[in-house]
Structure 1
């Protein structure tokens, strides 16, 4: 009976120490500064910059429309802009986001391609629902495709 009590106490003490240790770590890291890095010569950075700025612009109902149009003109090829307008008329939604509203957050992941940059975009909406898109960018940093599959698979 003594060994069961000793084992139980040891397990409880270990769990308590672990919980306290995790609590200290979580508290210490909660206030740690965050940083985001990027560079204009990196296509993934540019795609992330575009989505961040575009979502910010679309989140501003008073002034966002003009800025969103300017961002499209700067980052997207003229051919893609035309395709998006056609898609938007047909689907009554924003072609860049493939939705009628604005996501709460986004993530850009390099899919790795040889001739151009392909990135996976994960848009997260209320309730944790996600939409996954694929964005392709030329070597001269213009987005030429947005869809549910990459340009090669379209």
Structure 2
């Protein structure tokens, strides 16, 4: 025969177990989302210029949104050449916007696709999806030897 006290304990233990079961995945997510850039081929996906740009954007977006401990500057230093990072800092001052996202806010999503490849570099086009505003494109140039991003520009203007 169960008493009221025993039933209360069972309900309490069930509630605690439910809270712990739902909290565990939440505590693990930021650690995964803010991991350092991986070596080519890590994380189960073969590293290509497009996958590396996607990794950069994911880490950069998390940093801009304050997820984890890494700053946008630290993410830029990990993925971009020093020269490009310096040019982007100058761009930010001139344009009063984030130099990577090319805006003052963060896109809802993006699409990454390979565009072209030469002997030493690959062009990757990122389409940023804003939701209420028109989508925008940003062109990345990635050095194939080490997958460092060497340039980031607005799309070429049509003549």
TM-score, normalized by length of structure 1?
0.66
2:62 and 2:68 in contact (8 A); partners too: no
Deviation at 1:129, TM superposition (A): 2.1
CA radius of gyration, larger in: 1
* Contact 2:109–2:130 (CA under 8 A) maintained in structure 1: yes
Identify the residue that residue 124 of structure 1 maps to in structure 2: 129
Q: Which runs of 5+ in 1 are unaligned?
A: 1-36
Shift of 1:114: 1.6
Q: Which TM-score applies when normalising by structure 2? A: 0.64
Distance 1:128 1:100, change over 3 A: closer
RMSD between aligned residues: 2.1
1:38 aligns with 2:45: yes
**Deviation string, structure 1 residues 9-60 (Cα, Å, up to 9, x no partner):** xxxxxxxxxxxxxxxxxxxxxxxxxxxx732x32211111101111122122
Matches within 5 A, 1:94-133: 94-115=98-119, 116-127=121-132, 129-133=134-138
Write the mapping of 1:132-147 to structure 2, written as runs, cut at 5 A.
132-139=137-144, 140-147=146-153
The ranges of structure 1 where at least 4 consecutive aligned residues each deviate by more than 3 angstroms after the TM superposition are: none
